Amino acid sequence: MATIEKRVGRRSVSYRITVSDGYDGNYKKIRRRKTWRVPEGWSEKRAEKEVQKIALEFEQKIRQGYEIDNRKTFGEYAEYVIGVKERAGVKHNTILSYQYLLRGVREKIGNMKLVDIRPFHLNELYRSLQEKGLRCTESKVHIAMDLGAFLKEHKISRASLSREAGVSHTTVTSACRGNKIFRQQAEKMAKALGKRVEELFVADERTVKLAPKTIREYHQFIRVVLAQAEREMIVPYNAADKATPPRRVHTTANYFQPDVLGEILRALEDEPMKWRVITHLLIVTGCRRGEIMGLHWSKVDWVNQRIKIDNNLLYAKDRGIYEGTTKTENIRYIRLPEETMELLREYKSSQEELRIANGDRWYGDDFVFTRDDGRPMHPDSITNWLDLFSKRRGLPHINPHAFRHTVASMLIADGLDMVTVSHQLGHTKVSTTDDYYAHVIEDERSKKSACIADIMLRTTRNYINKKR
């Protein structure tokens, strides 16, 4: 039963409503409170009647599980949700993405109360991001004062500041000249001088208009946060489900025609063995770059001529290079042609020679593709190498994903069923493959339709000729 307490102030009258909501982990009674202020001009009888109604509604919502807590803002709750997702085992890079997206929307809706967020507010947010953009602070800062004069006044040499701050003498000199330096370096210098970084340095801000695809990422993040609030019965519905983000713009996947692919394969013959094998595997498997870079020798089945794809090599600023599950967390086996198996055998022999030459300096961890000391390679290294390779050879721009699209397109064109194609690519759902390669599928359907039309016309003509 709700309790109602009347409060008479100098300028207004209000009622505080209290409802018991069970006990917490320490067996202390949980009390939910709500304050209602009497509108000016209302009689006492009318106010008492209205507060009884409000108290009843408030109690019913509490009993139904809806925690009406006006103190919970989107920003505060989003941080809690990110923590929940991290503890639930959501991929690390996804968590980093959530943190980044939260920083982007915090200024707009971070201080809004969860219970106040409506689809209208989100639609306005998406419009603002598309038309006005997002304010971004650059990673570099510049001095806001005459640093040279400051050091001279306090009898501090540039060399001593360099030692105390743990930055190079060149960085200190650059800052004194008013040039931009990295914020991390600025923070170290400010700390050494006993100042806050904001007192000495300023960051340049710019506004960046966001593409529909990026805005949809923000929308998806907001949707995740509000979905958790709905599950925990903090809000009655997910406002993001009723909002209207920009429409998804379907882009045509970049893939190579057979003649271009032939040129790439011929050009690879003169390249170092490691890069040749990496690129060859990308071409014949359609795997993601992280899946190839994360391949272990123990996952190569020499007898059945296949490889097992069950992990992914990733990079994060706070972790460095690390292993994770595949993007869709599935496991698949991919058969390889004899030519590819032979390349792998040849490469394995050359890697063994390198391992012996390094001796104790080898950090070998069973990775197929490694640096010269056996450590795993950065996932970006193959992207960077392919870019340079295509420029050196006068080839069209090459990126790892283009091979993936090429494999999919060729398999579809060859008449392979979509279930098999989807499995080859590691998609969780066949619908993903259908959606992504709709243009290829439509092209093949058009060709088949043309063949059918030709058959129909030819059959009709034969019939007419027979009648004659």
Burial of 429 (0-12, 13-18, 19+ CB in 10 A): exposed
Per-residue pLDDT at 301: 93
Kindly tell me the burial class for residue 310, based on how many C-beta atoms sit within 10 Å of its own C-beta (0-12, 13-18, 19 or more): middle
Using alpha carbons, select from 280, 290, 467 the residue that is nearest to residue 367: 290
Per DSSP bridges, beta strands 13-23 and 29-37 are antiparallel
Q: What angle do CA 383, 414, 450 make, to 5 degrees?
A: 120
CA distance 92 to 321: 12
> What's residue 61's pLDDT?
78
Rounded-to-10 torsion of CA 301, 302, 305, 309: 30
Please report how many Cα atoms fall inside a 13 Å half-sphere around the Cα of residue 55, on the Cβ side: 19
Tell me what pLDDT residue 449 has.
45
Taking the whole predicted model, whether its pTM rises above 0.75 is answered as no
Q: What is the pLDDT of residue 145?
A: 84
Give the pLDDT of residue 87.
92
Cβ-in-10-Å burial (0-12, 13-18, 19+) of 18 comes to middle
**Sites in the chain below the pLDDT cut of 70:** 24-25, 65-71, 136-139, 205, 249-253, 412-417, 428, 430-468
Are 14 and 38 in contact by the 8 Å Cβ rule? The answer is: yes
Residue 145 three-state SS: coil
Measured CA to CA, the distance from residue 356 to residue 86 in angstroms comes to 41
Contact call for residues 22 and 56 (beta carbons, < 8 A)? no
Distances (CA, A) of 415 to 256, 403, 440: 18, 19, 11
First CA to last CA across the chain, in angstroms? 96
What token pair was written down for 49? 């009647």
